[in-house]
Amino acid sequence: MNKSRNYLIIDTADLGKVDFSEVMQTSASTVRKSVDGTRAVIKWEDRVEPRSLAGVGRRQGPFTQEQILGILSGPEWTPAQSIPPMAPVTEQDWVPTPIKKTRIWTPVKFDDTIKFTEAPLITGGVKPM
């Protein structure tokens, strides 16, 4: 973890007050924003807070990297991933495929030695359209 980085959470309405030459992000479009888009994370190197951040209104922090990672893993910052429902599969969705014959080598033990013999392997079945 980078111990010299500091993080501040501010309102996105205050992003226009941030001098991006003083922080690690390059513009308002490169900051991490909350799920609802109302809050943003600003980060900078060094213990001294950039001057332009003194002009922002509502703020939280400063935080260390370890602290901000805990905050950003919460539901306000990380959208819930929903898995789309699967459509039911019917017989019409499946078509037969030709059977493919493949050969493999199988170990067979004779006395105290192992020899390999050729054995047929049949694969195939059905696949989705």
**Structural domain count, the chain:** 2
E runs forming strands in the chain: 5-11, 32-33, 39-45, 59-63, 94-96, 100-110, 113-123, 126-128
Q: Is 82 inside a domain boundary? A: no
Question: Which pLDDT does position 57 carry in this prediction?
Answer: 87
User: What pTM does this model have?
Assistant: 0.61
> Residue 6 pairs with which residues in a beta bridge?
44
Domain that holds residue 99: 94-128
Q: Is 83 inside a domain boundary? A: no
Q: Percentage of the chain surpassing pLDDT 70?
A: 60
Question: Which pLDDT does position 4 carry in this prediction?
Answer: 84
Question: Per the omega criterion (within 30 degrees of 0), is the bond before 62 cis?
Answer: yes
Query: Are both 68 and 114 inside the same structural domain?
Result: no
Query: Are both 9 and 68 inside the same structural domain?
Result: yes
52, amino acid identity = S
How large is the average pLDDT for residues 103-108? 62
Query: Are both 9 and 61 inside the same structural domain?
Result: yes
Q: How many Cα atoms sit within 13 Å of 89 on the Cβ side?
A: 7
Q: Is 119 inside a domain boundary? A: yes
